[in-house]
Structure 1
Amino acid sequence: MPNATARALVRLLPWTSADGKPCFLVGDGTGYVSRIADQMEAEQLSSAVDLIDEARQLLADRTWTPGELHLLAVELTAALDTVRRVAESRGGRLTALGHDVPDDADGDGPRLPAEAFG
């Protein structure tokens, strides 16, 4: 029998369905799919860090072509979208667990603590 005090959480997963719709998981955050999602989020964040380093090198070089800049913009946009999705997922779980997610300094929305990203 499951633990009656365990809290079921709805988690936004770091992938979408075949038709691009968000995928969610309902559970306590300790199962197999949760662990796969945690690993995928970590890999996505690591890839974003690598892309930022690559972008800095490309921009510092100043010998880029318009095509290279376009590709960089496409890749950075995709990485930013992924990082936003991870932040939304982690922020939602923090809120569901009863943690306050303070507004940012500008009042534009939640400001997630650094530990939410790693």
Structure 2
Amino acid sequence: MTIPNTTYGERQLRLLPWTTPDGKPCYLSADSHDSRLSLLADDIEAAQLESGEQVLAGAKAVLADPKAGERAVRFALTRASESLGDTLRIAISRGERIPEPER
């Protein structure tokens, strides 16, 4: 996942936890971390992380079942890869918002 420079003037842009219909990243330029859209993004990130935990548990169960068929394994892998993509987007977004240490 390659994310372009996310600075607009002096303002840091926030990578949002969703994409455009054609899969391009969405960014937020806001003066406050408490804006309505920032709080919505926080809620969606939390839901994505919780969903990722559930997907991980389900994938582990499928992989531990020697009788699981190809369809079950493919489904688990598909959901796991989607969750991993969400988690990486969240990590990148949060990492970009960590202030640089003062020297």
Query: More displaced, 19-28 or 79-88?
Result: 19-28
In structure 1, list runs of 5 or more residues that go unmatched: 1-6, 101-118
Q: Which has the higher contact order (CA 8 A, sep 6+)?
A: 2
One-letter amino acid of the counterpart of residue 100, structure 2: G
TM-score normalised by structure 2 residue count = 0.82
- Please give the alpha-carbon distance, in whole angstroms, between the structure 1 residues aligned to 2:23 and 2:74: 23
From the superposition, tell whether residues 99 and 84 of structure 1 become closer, same or farther in structure 2 (CA, over 3 Å): farther
Aligned residues with identical type, % of pairs: 34
Partner of 2:29: 26
- Please give the alpha-carbon distance, in whole angstroms, between the structure 2 residues aligned to 1:23 and 1:99: 27
Residue 62 (structure 1) shift:
1.5
TM-score normalised by structure 1 residue count = 0.72
Partner of 1:12: 15
Residue 74 (structure 1) shift:
0.9
In structure 2, list runs of 5 or more residues that go unmatched: 1-9
Runs (4 or more) in structure 1 with deviation over 4 Å come to none
Q: Is the contact between residue 59 and residue 76 of structure 2 (CA under 8 Å) also seen in structure 1? A: yes
